[in-house]
Structure 1
C-alpha cells in the first residue's frame, strides 16, 4: 500500500463536475440536495477547497459514484447501481417490461417531466 497518496482536489472537483453533469444537475440543484451552498460546490469543483469526509460521502451518494472513484479516480463500481438496488431493472432480453410499457404511453412532454423527476429523486434513494 502506498503511504504517500496525494489528494488532488482539482481532479476530485473535475470528477465531481463530470458526474454532476451526467445526471443533468446544476451546481445549485446539487447544493440544495446535499444541504450546501452552490458557491461552495463551485469551489469544490474548481479544486479550491478540500471537503470533509461527511461532505465527500454525501456527494458520492448523490452522484451515485464510489468514494474510491471520486477521490482517486479508480472506477471500480457505482454506488447504488440499478442492477443492485432496483426491482425494475430492464433486461436487454426482456423489452416488454412494465416500466417500458408505461413510458411508451407518455407524450414527449410527459417523458421530459419524468426525466426531470427521476434526476431529482435518484440522489435521495
Structure 2
C-alpha cells in the first residue's frame, strides 16, 4: 500500500511568491501570463486554494522552476540543475544570483546565452 503524500499548499504558495518576486514580476503580471486573475494568484500564494495540475505546470513554466521544487521545496538533484539535454550544471558557484538565473534556463536559452557571451567578451576589455 502506498503512503499518501500530503502537499503543503501554504509552502507551495510561498515558493511561488518567492520565485515571482525573484523575477521581479507583480502578481498581476503573473496572472496575465498564466491566464488567471490576480485575486486567484493571491489565493494560491496564501495557500487558500488548491490548483489543478495544468495550472501548476503553467505557473512552474512561467517562473522557470521545476514542479518538484514548487511542490516539495527541493530540486530533482540538489547538487546541480539538470537541463533538457541531461547535462548537470553545478551549483557551487560564488555568484549565486547568476547561477540561480542560469539554472532556470532551458537548454536552448543556455545555448543562446553562451553565444551572446562569446560575442560580447572581446568588447569588454
**Does TM, scored on the shorter chain, surpass 0.5?**
yes
| Unpaired stretches in structure 1, ≥5 consecutive residues | 105-125
Task: Compute the displacement of 1:10 (Å).
Answer: 0.1
1:85 and 2:108 are equivalent in the alignment? yes
Alignment of 1:32 with 2:32, yes or no, is yes
* Aligned alpha-carbon RMSD (Å): 2.9
Alignment of 1:58-73 (within 5 A): 58-73=58-73
Higher strand share: 2
Q: 2:45 aligns to what? A: 45
Higher relative contact order (CA 8 A, sep 6+): 1
Deviation at 1:100, TM superposition (A): 5.9
Deviation at 1:3, TM superposition (A): 1.8
Matched-pair contact (CA < 8 Å) for 1:10–1:47: yes
Number of equivalences: 100
Q: TM-score, normalised by structure 1?
A: 0.67
Unaligned runs of 5+ in 2: 85-103
Query: In the TM superposition, what is the alpha-carbon distance from 1:89 to its structure 2 partner?
Result: 2.7
- Partners of 1:44 and 1:79 lie apart in 2 by 27
Deviation at 1:57?
A: 0.4
TM-score, normalised to structure 2's length? 0.67
